[in-house]
Structure 1
């Protein structure tokens, strides 16, 4: 059986002391516009964090850093401002700072993979026009049935047919996998 902890003096959850925001110079340059977000936590706890709020705080700060927002800890005169989630968490817990660093590394890795995959998408190369099949000197204007769908297609000399799906994907139907649709049907 787990050992019971004594109920101590209740205090606010530590995650409620953090806020993130963006400070932008005002229109006339004198009064800055500050947009602030908090975790919205109002829990009272005898511990440093309410249950699960340490993880909640880490993800809140990592998201803020990825969005380019400032992180503020404390209220009033003792407010510490940083743009780094890891630096903001170090005074609270070294373990939470390590967790935040790992989450940031993973998020940055995902973002790098996403941009790399967008760059790596090959541009479709223009395909040479297929030769016309016997009986159709131009090879175009024929309609084939693949499964239950009918497509405009080009019939190749070796018996295959080239067609495009409604999404624009180029497909090749092998000989015997399609049938020619007669005009007027």
Structure 2
């Protein structure tokens, strides 16, 4: 028992607790007032690291590419250490990666997005819209929405995978 000082030790509480309240001991790494700031900082850091990683593919020098990628890897490792100690940071990291991928896709395909929005506002006949490709896309979206509704914890992962695939196809 000496190697684990808190195991099996009885603590004496000096206060009288009301009703059936059981005394508990809690351990936290940071105070609760700091946790939201850490979570939002993790979103911003993940966003920046992902954009930095994506920009490394556009660089000409291979040594600069690898130094940027190693710096991003070190940054992600540090964020994962923080995420190990603060609840909710893993999810915020995925959110930051999602936002960065969406930002880069929107920046690359700005003309397509404007064209798509213009096409949505145009009145077209139903027969022009009912083609096999559109039906397959609607079916795939239906399956993704069904999976998200069944297991909402997978939403961030599904968005991340979808944006990565879209980014690969766009190249």
| Structure with greater helix percent | 2
TM-score of the superposition, structure 2-length normalised? 0.29
Greater Cα radius of gyration, structure 1 or 2: 1
Structure with more contact order per residue of length (Cα contacts < 8 Å, sep ≥ 6): 2
TM-score of the superposition, structure 1-length normalised? 0.28
